[in-house]
Structure 1
Amino acid sequence: MMSARARADAFCARFGLRVPILQAPMAGAAPPALAAAVANAGGMGGFGALQSSPAEIAAWAASFRASSNGAFQVNLWTPDPPPPRDAAREEAARQALGTLGPLPPAPGEGPFLPDFAAQCEALLAVRAGVVSTIMGLWDAAFVAALKAAGILWIANATTLDEALAAQAAGADAVVAQGAEAGGHRGSFDPARGEAQAIPLFALIPRLADALRVPVVAAGGIMDGRGIAAALTLGASAVQMGTAFLRTPEAAIAPAWADALARTAPEDTVLTRAFSGRAGRGIRNSATEAFAHLPAAPYPVQRTLSAPMRAEAVAAGDVSRMQAWAGQGAALARAEPAAELVARWWTEAEALLPLP
Structure 2
Amino acid sequence: MAGGAGTPALLAACGGGFVAAGYLTPDDLAARIAAARAAGTWFGVNLFAPPPVPCPAGELRRYAEQLRAEFAAHDLTPALPPPPDDDHWAAKLDLLVADPVPAVSCTFGIPAPSTVAALRRAGSLVLQTVTTPAEAVAAEEAGVDALIVQAAAAGGHSATLTPAALTPGALAAAPPLPALVAAVRAAVDLPVVAAGGIETSADVAAALRAGALATMVGTALLLTDEAGTSAAHRAALSAATAASPTIPGAPDAPLPGAFAPGASSPGGHDTVVTRAFTGRPARALRNGFTDRHDATAPLGYPQIHHLTAPLRRAAAAAGDTDRVHLWAGTGHRHARTGPAAAVIATLTASL
Residue of 203, 207, 231 corresponding to 1:254: 231
- The 8 Å contact of residues 48 and 87 in structure 2, kept in 1 or not, is answered as no
Please state how far the C-alpha of 1:82 moved relative to its aligned partner.
5.9
Assess if the C-alpha contact under 8 Å between 2:192 and 2:211 holds in 1.
yes
Deviations 1:283-309 (A, max 9, x none): 111111223213351111111111220
The DSSP-based 3-state class of the residue aligned with 1:290 is helix
Aligned to 1:75: 46
Aligned counterparts, 1:99-110, within 5 A: 99-102=69-72, 103-110=76-83
1:33 to 6, 9, 24: 9
* Residue pair 1:271, 1:290 contacting (<8 A) in 2 also: no
Aligned partners of 2:215, 2:100: CA distance in 1, in Å?
A: 23
Deviation at 1:240? 0.6
**Residue-by-residue CA offset, 1:80-130 (whole Å, 9 max, x unaligned):** 24614232x222211222222245443243465642100111222331110
1:177 to 133, 150, 154: 150
Give me the TM-score of the superposition, normalised by structure 2.
0.85
Question: Is 1:160 aligned to residue 127 of structure 2?
Answer: no
Secondary structure of 2:111's partner? coil
Hey, what does 1:193 align to over in structure 2?
166
> How far did 1:158 drift?
0.6
Q: How many Å apart are 1:154 and its aligned residue? A: 1.1
Answer yes or no: is 1:47 the counterpart of 2:19: yes
Do structure 1's residue 144 and structure 2's residue 117 form an aligned pair?
yes
Q: Which residue of 1 aligns with 2:325?
A: 322
5+ residue gaps, structure 1: 1-24, 350-355
In the TM superposition, residue 145 of structure 1 has moved relative to its aligned partner by 0.8
Amino acid at match of 2:12: A
- Aligned residue runs from structure 1 range 53-64, under 5 A: 53-64=25-36
Find the counterpart in structure 2 of residue 284 from structure 1: 287
Q: How far apart are residue 55 of structure 1 and its match? A: 1.4
Q: Deviations over 1:206-227 (max 9, x none)?
A: 1122221111111111121111
Match of 1:15 in 2: none
Kept in 2, the 8 Å contact 1:27–1:47? The answer is: no
Deviation at 1:256, TM superposition (A): 1.2
**Structure 2 Cα separation of the partners of residues 283 and 108 of structure 1:** 25
Deviates most, 328-337 or 191-200: 191-200
Q: Secondary structure at the match of 1:269?
A: strand
| Range with greater deviation from structure 2 (324-333 or 168-177) | 168-177
Q: Matches of 2:45 and 2:165 in 1, distance apart? A: 25
**1:17 — aligned with what?**
none
In 2: Cα distance, 1:155 partner to 1:27 partner: 20
Structure 2 CA distance, aligned partners of 1:73 and 1:149?
A: 14
Whether contact under 8 Å (2:280, 2:299) holds in the other structure is no
Q: Which residue of 1 aligns with 2:267?
A: none
Separation in structure 1 between the aligned mates of residue 283 and residue 42 of structure 2, nearest angstrom: 27
Supply the AA of the counterpart residue of 2:9: A
Aligned twin of 1:353? none
TM-score (norm 1): 0.84
Distance in 1 separating the partners of 2:140 and 2:170: 19
Aligned partners of 1:104 and 1:307 also within 8 Å: no
Aligned length: 318
Equivalence map 1:79-94=2 (5 Å): 79-81=50-52, 83-87=54-58, 89-94=59-64
Q: Which residue of 2 aligns with 1:236?
A: 213
Aligned partner of 1:7 in structure 2 is: none
1:116 and 2:100 matched: no
Q: RMSD of aligned C-alpha atoms?
A: 1.9
Q: Which residue of 1 aligns with 2:260?
A: none
What is the Cα deviation at residue 176 of structure 1?
A: 1.3
- Does the 8 A contact of 2:185 with 2:192 survive in 1? yes
Task: Work out which of the residue numbers 191, 200, 212 in structure 2 matches 1:223.
Answer: 200
The answer on 1:97 being equivalent to 2:73 is no
Distance 1:200 1:212 in 2: 18
